[in-house]
Amino acid sequence: GRQFGHTLAALHVLTRYGSSKKVLMVDSVDVVFATRAPFEMQMQPGERLSVYPLGPVEFASSEGLKFPLQGLHMEQGRLIGTSNEAVAHKVSITPVHGNTQAYAIVAPLTHLGEFIAAMGA
């Protein structure tokens, strides 16, 4: 919304519950999905996608992103992955085996259906 405090509260919810519950947030522009698991979706090359760590997360691999994630250790206040973009029709993100911390994926609202399907997986 128009109040930055509400954005901070939403980030708090993602950080607090993202590792233990399936959390999906939607506004008029974007959809945000929190997960600890590997994630895959279809995108159009050039579409924006952000990856935001909700705790310390190390990524084993990624495919279809302009800025690859493999080998990156992300953590709030240290390294985040906002404003990445798809360079292929399939984007995949895989954290290292045994990862226990969630990361948020932010994509255009047109991907709401894929995020809802991912929640059921």
- Written as tens digits, the pLDDT of the chain (121 aa) is 578 999 899 999 999 998 898 889 999 999 999 999 999 999 999 999 999 999 999 999 999 999 999 999 999 999 999 999 999 999 999 999 999 999 999 999 999 999 999 888 6
* Contact status, residue 64 vs residue 92, Cβ threshold 8 Å: yes
- Per the CB < 8 A criterion, the answer to whether 77 and 111 are in contact is no
What is the value of pTM for the model shown?
A: 0.91
